[in-house]
A and B are shown apart, each in its own frame.
Chain A
């Protein structure tokens, strides 16, 4: 097992955001965490990448307990993250953003740079443009490309479909599939449950800080309870109902 989260609890002040979440990610898999706003998906991801401290529980990565390791060292260990929404550096050019992705590396990153531009030809076109002036989809591509610059073993993706048009979502998801095919394990947090379940091998359903279900993604896709709660009652809607409120808090 490459990444194992054992019964983690996370608090914001006195409010418990995560009440004992356990997730396992095997090498080569795409695992997705789905759930409504406030279920704790983003918090789980931030705890794994080290942006949030945990109250109790353990995170084991590549055989090592990294629960106490600061975030910037986890990158070196092999955890790459594309942060939620536009986690890019708006004032830097696309190229500088990608180079920041390789900040922690001591070896040359020219190979990864070429790969990022090959994976996202759009980024190559926008190379010298300030990242903040790009469209949401392009920013998302940049965030993913930048995370790959550190050659992660596991790529943590936080809502890559957020705010994107359906066609772009398709495109981003097929790129995620391609990245996985190239040997990167992916842990994907999504509100767009339909798309995420089609892509992933296994899935966990989160509700108010707990895992309520975990199964193979295809099983969940056909699960009537999951369909009713997250897939628009099986009517085949691609988009979940519009949800504007922030969810990262709880």
Chain B
């Protein structure tokens, strides 16, 4: 890092502090960690309370924004993190899978009259399939080229939805059924399994449950052979291949898993919103989720979730400032990238990659030549 840069000292201290915290966490015995996990889940369940909401979002209904955008962004970011953070594939069209999930729920729910839970399963399958469909021809590309193609795919899905009258065209689909309710189970003042129009909290709890399942699965993948293969692909794809990693298959798997998570969120979101239309799936959403992943510290799950939370929450918190809030939001993003280019809570491995400068997250999955790599080599891929 440039020594003349006055920020370097501050950055260094920040990074040192984060490392210390990380070390302490790694040395925490297992049962204490479980207590922390349990506390986090309880915390997430208590989050919609009014007293917290009064501070967190004085201008909007806190429980509503906990579901969308906050919870939605967190889950989408977890999904995108598999693709971008773990496998190192720059995907700019992630919103497409969210849309496929949303439309699965809308179409199967209104036309076929299927049940939410059945659609959830089928929808995840459809999204995994669409991830593979997109991946098969495009994952032979790398870096920037992959980013461009995925960007295109995201737009194709949205524009196709808008131009296809059979699925509602620009008006989208209305009257999407809610998940089946179980009445009468009260916790506090909330009927937690009653999915209606009035109370967003049951949906939020459902989202928390989905998130917990997804996090457990993603964590398990990360620590398995699959996770090691992803890390190797992210750091040096050619080297991974000559180590015997079937790189293409694992990249497809990352795409399929990321797509399934995005799709599951799409199904859940559509089931709450009653109506969806193509404009819910703008490119800006892909970009925002990607910003959340990068800002939080790609590859590190808590970091990514924190990033998504901030990206979703900050604009809501400062709603009182009206148009200026986006200005502040932008300034915060810029400031973060100056003070903490590796993200708020980066994984240690990522940090080493970033320092090394070639491949991996250091270049956001795009293979910008590092000090030792060859410019033309990259161009020829």
Interface contact A87-B376, CB-CB below 8 Å: no
User: Scoring A residues 11 to 39 as 1 if CB is less than 8 Å from chain B, else 0, what string do you get?
Assistant: 01000000000000000000000000000
Interface contact A249-B244, CB-CB below 8 Å: no
Interface contact B372-A72, CB-CB below 8 Å: no
B350 within 8 A of A: yes
Interface contact A100-B243, CB-CB below 8 Å: yes
Q: Which residues of chain B are near A147, meaning CB under 8 Å?
A: 242
Interface contact A70-B355, CB-CB below 8 Å: no
User: Scoring B residues 221 to 242 as 1 if CB is less than 8 Å from chain A, else 0, what string do you get?
Assistant: 0000100110110011011111
Q: Which residues of chain B are near A249, meaning CB under 8 Å?
A: 374, 376-377, 379-380
User: Scoring A residues 41 to 60 as 1 if CB is less than 8 Å from chain B, else 0, what string do you get?
Assistant: 00000100111000000000
Which of A12, A105, A133 is B380 in contact with, Cβ under 8 Å? A12
Which of A46, A86, A101 is B243 in contact with, Cβ under 8 Å? A101
Closest chain A CB from B348 CB (angstroms): 8
Q: Which residues of chain A are near B242, meaning CB under 8 Å?
A: 49-51, 71-72, 75, 80-81, 83, 87, 147
Interface contact B228-A91, CB-CB below 8 Å: no
Interface contact B377-A246, CB-CB below 8 Å: yes
Q: Which residues of chain A are near B113, meaning CB under 8 Å?
A: none
B352 within 8 A of A: yes
Interface contact B377-A100, CB-CB below 8 Å: no
CA distance in complex: A73, B62 (Å): 54
From known contacts A85-B372, A246-B374, A249-B380, infer whether A90 and B353 are also in contact, taking CB-CB under 8 Å: yes
B373 within 8 A of A: yes
Which of A12, A96, A133, A150 is B244 in contact with, Cβ under 8 Å? A150
Which of B245, B360, B373, B379 is A91 in contact with, Cβ under 8 Å? B360
CA distance in complex: A101, B232 (Å): 11
Closest chain A CB from B353 CB (angstroms): 4
B277 within 8 A of A: no
From known contacts A132-B352, A248-B374, A248-B377, infer whether A90 and B360 are also in contact, taking CB-CB under 8 Å: yes
Q: Which residues of chain B are near A216, meaning CB under 8 Å?
A: none
B375 within 8 A of A: yes
Interface contact A72-B247, CB-CB below 8 Å: yes
Q: Which residues of chain A are near B359, meaning CB under 8 Å?
A: 90
Name the CB-closest residue of A to B248.
A70
B246 within 8 A of A: yes
Which of B232, B238, B350, B379 is A51 in contact with, Cβ under 8 Å? B238
Q: Which residues of chain B are near A169, meaning CB under 8 Å?
A: none
Most A CB within 10 A of own CB, among B231, B235, B245, B379? B235
From known contacts A86-B372, A246-B376, infer whether A91 and B246 are also in contact, taking CB-CB under 8 Å: no
Which of A83, A132, A150 is B239 in contact with, Cβ under 8 Å? A83
Interface contact A89-B355, CB-CB below 8 Å: no
From known contacts A92-B349, A103-B232, A132-B356, infer whether A87 and B244 are also in contact, taking CB-CB under 8 Å: no
Name the CB-closest residue of A to B355.
A132
Name the CB-closest residue of B to A163.
B372
Interface contact B353-A132, CB-CB below 8 Å: yes
CA distance in complex: A92, B373 (Å): 18
Closest chain A CB from B24 CB (angstroms): 18
Interface contact A87-B236, CB-CB below 8 Å: yes
Q: Which residues of chain A are near B228, meaning CB under 8 Å?
A: 96, 100, 103
Name the CB-closest residue of B to A96.
B228
Q: Which of B344-364 contact A (CB under 8 A)?
A: 348-353, 355-356, 358-360
From known contacts A86-B372, A90-B352, A246-B377, infer whether A51 and B358 are also in contact, taking CB-CB under 8 Å: no
Closest chain A CB from B80 CB (angstroms): 20
Interface contact A104-B377, CB-CB below 8 Å: no
A9 within 8 A of B: no
Interface contact B235-A72, CB-CB below 8 Å: no
Closest chain A CB from B72 CB (angstroms): 30
Which of A80, A92, A104 is B235 in contact with, Cβ under 8 Å? A92
Name the CB-closest residue of B to A90.
B356
CA distance in complex: A101, B228 (Å): 12
A187 within 8 A of B: no
Q: Which residues of chain B are near A73, meaning CB under 8 Å?
A: 244
Q: Which residues of chain B are near A130, meaning CB under 8 Å?
A: 348-349, 352
CA distance in complex: A202, B380 (Å): 31
Interface contact A91-B231, CB-CB below 8 Å: yes
Q: Which residues of chain B are near A95, meaning CB under 8 Å?
A: none
Name the CB-closest residue of A to B377.
A248
Name the CB-closest residue of A to B237.
A51
CA distance in complex: A92, B299 (Å): 14
Name the CB-closest residue of B to A147.
B242
CA distance in complex: A241, B228 (Å): 40
Interface contact A75-B372, CB-CB below 8 Å: no
Interface contact B380-A91, CB-CB below 8 Å: no
CA distance in complex: A163, B371 (Å): 12
CA distance in complex: A163, B229 (Å): 29
Seen from chain B, the residues whose Cβ lies within 8 Å of a Cβ on chain A are 225, 228-229, 231-232, 235-236, 238-248, 348-353, 355-356, 358-360, 372-377, 379-380
Query: What are 5 residue pairs bridging A and B, where the CB atoms are less than 8 Å apart in the complex?
Result: A71-B242, A91-B356, A92-B349, A103-B243, A130-B352
Seen from chain A, the residues whose Cβ lies within 8 Å of a Cβ on chain B are 12, 46, 49-51, 70-73, 75-76, 80-81, 83, 85-92, 96, 100-101, 103-105, 130, 132-133, 146-147, 150, 163, 246, 248-249
Given contacts A51-B242, A89-B235, A103-B232, 5 further A-B contacts (CB under 8 A): A76-B244, A89-B231, A90-B235, A91-B349, A101-B243
